[in-house]
């Protein structure tokens, strides 16, 4: 599928709206802990936000509350100047793409897409024009009379997207829409979604547990853990400076190495044999990404095992205190041991107690 349309979905396409989430809280009846204890965030107009987190972190609950499919426990949600947390879904002006597409099985593709327009009593001529335009954009024109059961997974996905964008929503919500597609199709659809977002300009909120989707699609990624925001920043910032050990361990493939280190008298001994100055004494978690570790110099470590990935290989090493260190290396065989050293500017430091980044404590020379 290629998107060849030069102008927005329709001439009247609106841009998105700011989403303000203030003190949002949600506890399910009978549950002891809150799914979302207290969440405040501002999603900018037209921004593509990816909510990323492990299962059970509250990301789907948050999305459903934005859509109006779940009641808000406490707090406010504003779309622009409008408070929407008490409104029914149909009065909020959002559209949603569901994980299993949720296409109406008894309606044709065209009917699936224009159902919302029929409810809104849009005149027939305009309905048909909009269906034709969205269908052309998503390359569904030949399939308009088919039923969902006659479509492939990728086609169903596109119908679901078409159904969502045909109303030109101010807020576009995605609930893990790519997880039912196979790997190749997921890659394609991901890129198309990014282009589509730029064209439509709606404020998009995309829930996923796939970090590649988050990194590639997002203007900003909101990383949720137990209903709390661990970090809300552009993907490159999250990669370059994770705010906590949770983020560090969650993002990146393979994830960042986290090693227990201790600082005494202002110096910290590192597993690669070097030392670095530290402004505070105590226990810390040292972070370093596998791809940032330099090979060939420094401390020698035993090779535990090696995963060959074609473009590169991932090697697990045993540190002197028995911990595991992953490094990425050019493809090809290695011996029983490797020399590794940590470039100072690639080091991350986290408080051992809170897990929060304390990068500024390092004195790099």
Partner 1 sequence: MTQSPFRSRLIALLFLSPLILLTALFFYWPVAEAIRWSFFLEQPFGGGSTFVGLANFRRVLSDPEFWKSLKLTGIFMVTASVPAVLVPLVLAMAADRGLRTSRIARNVLVWPKGVAGASIGVIFGFIFNPFVGILTPLNQLWPGIWSPGTDGVDAFITLIVANLWNGIPFNFVILLAGLQALPDTYSKAAALDGAGPWRQALDIRLPLLAPQLFFVLVLEFTESIINAFGLIDTMTRGGPGGATTLLVYKIYADGFKGYDLSGASTQTVLLMILVLLIAAAQFLLMERRVKYER
* Binding interface with partner 1 (CB under 8 A): 67-69, 88-90, 94-96, 98, 100, 102-106, 115-116, 119-120, 147, 149, 163
Question: Which residues, in sequence order, are CB contacts of 28 under 8 Å at separation 6+?
Answer: 35
CB 100 to partner 1: min, Å? 6
CB 147 to partner 1: min, Å? 7
Beta strands in 289-323, from DSSP E residues, in sequence order:
294-308, 313-318
Element (H, E) at 231: strand 228-233
**Which 3 state secondary structure label does DSSP give 219?**
coil
- Centre a 10 Å sphere on the Cβ of residue 120 and count the other Cβ atoms it contains: 11
Task: Indicate the residue among 42 and 106 with the shorter CB distance to partner 1.
Answer: 106
Q: At what angle do helices 153-165 and 109-119 cross, to 10 degrees?
A: 20
CB 98 to partner 1: min, Å? 5
**Which 3 state secondary structure label does DSSP give 102?**
coil
Closest CA to 140 of 126, 160, 125: 160
Angle at the Cα of 235 from the Cα atoms of 92 and 18, rounded to 5 degrees: 25
CB 12 to partner 1: min, Å? 18
Task: Indicate the residue among 28 and 267 with the shorter CB distance to partner 1.
Answer: 28
Task: Indicate the residue among 19 and 315 with the shorter CB distance to partner 1.
Answer: 19
CB 30 to partner 1: min, Å? 16
Question: Which residues, in sequence order, are CB contacts of 163 under 8 Å at separation 6+?
Answer: 95, 103, 112, 113, 115, 116
Task: Indicate the residue among 164 and 261 with the shorter CB distance to partner 1.
Answer: 164
Task: Indicate the residue among 205 and 362 with the shorter CB distance to partner 1.
Answer: 205
Task: Indicate the residue among 112 and 211 with the shorter CB distance to partner 1.
Answer: 112
CB 91 to partner 1: min, Å? 9
């Amino acid at each position: 599928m290629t998107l060849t349309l030069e102008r927005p979905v329709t001439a009247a396409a609106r841009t998105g709206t700011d989403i303000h989430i203030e003190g949002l809280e949600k506890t399910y009846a009978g549950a002891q802990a809150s799914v979302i204890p207290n969440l405040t965030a501002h999603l900018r107009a037209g921004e593509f936000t990816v909510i990323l987190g492990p299962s059970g972190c509250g990301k789907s609950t948050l999305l459903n509350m934005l859509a109006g499919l779940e009641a808000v426990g406490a707090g406010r949600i504003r779309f622009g100047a409008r408070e929407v947390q008490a409104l029914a879904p149909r009065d909020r002006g959002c559209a949603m793409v569901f994980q299993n597409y949720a296409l109406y099985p008894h309606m044709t593709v065209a009917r699936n897409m224009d159902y919302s327009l029929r409810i809104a009593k849009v005149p027939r001529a305009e309905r048909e024009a909009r269906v034709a335009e969205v269908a052309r954009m998503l390359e569904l024109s030949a399939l308009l009379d088919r039923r969902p059961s006659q479509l492939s997974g990728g086609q169903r996905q596109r119908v679901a997207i078409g159904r969502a964008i045909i109303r030109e929503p101010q807020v576009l919500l995605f609930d893990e829409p790519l997880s039912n597609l196979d790997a190749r199709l997921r890659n394609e659809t991901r890129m198309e979604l990014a282009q589509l977002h730029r064209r439509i300009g709606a404020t998009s909120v995309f829930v996923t547990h796939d970090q590649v989707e988050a990194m590639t699609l997002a203007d900003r990624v909101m990383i949720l853990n137990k209903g709390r925001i661990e970090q809300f920043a552009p993907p490159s910032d999250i990669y370059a400076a994770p705010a906590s050990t949770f983020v560090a361990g969650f993002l990146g493939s393979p994830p960042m190495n986290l090693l227990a280190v201790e600082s005494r008298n202002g110096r910290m001994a590192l597993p690669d044999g070097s030392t670095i100055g530290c402004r505070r004494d105590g226990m810390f978690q040292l972070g370093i990404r596998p791809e940032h570790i330099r090979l060939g110099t420094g401390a020698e470590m035993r090779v535990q095992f090696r995963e060959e990935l074609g473009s590169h290989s991932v090697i697990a090493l045993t540190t002197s205190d028995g911990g595991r260190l992953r490094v990425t290396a050019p493809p090809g065989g290695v011996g029983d041991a490797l020399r590794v050293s940590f470039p100072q500017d690639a080091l991350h430091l986290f408080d051992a107690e809170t897990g929060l980044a304390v990068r500024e404590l390092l004195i790099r020379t």
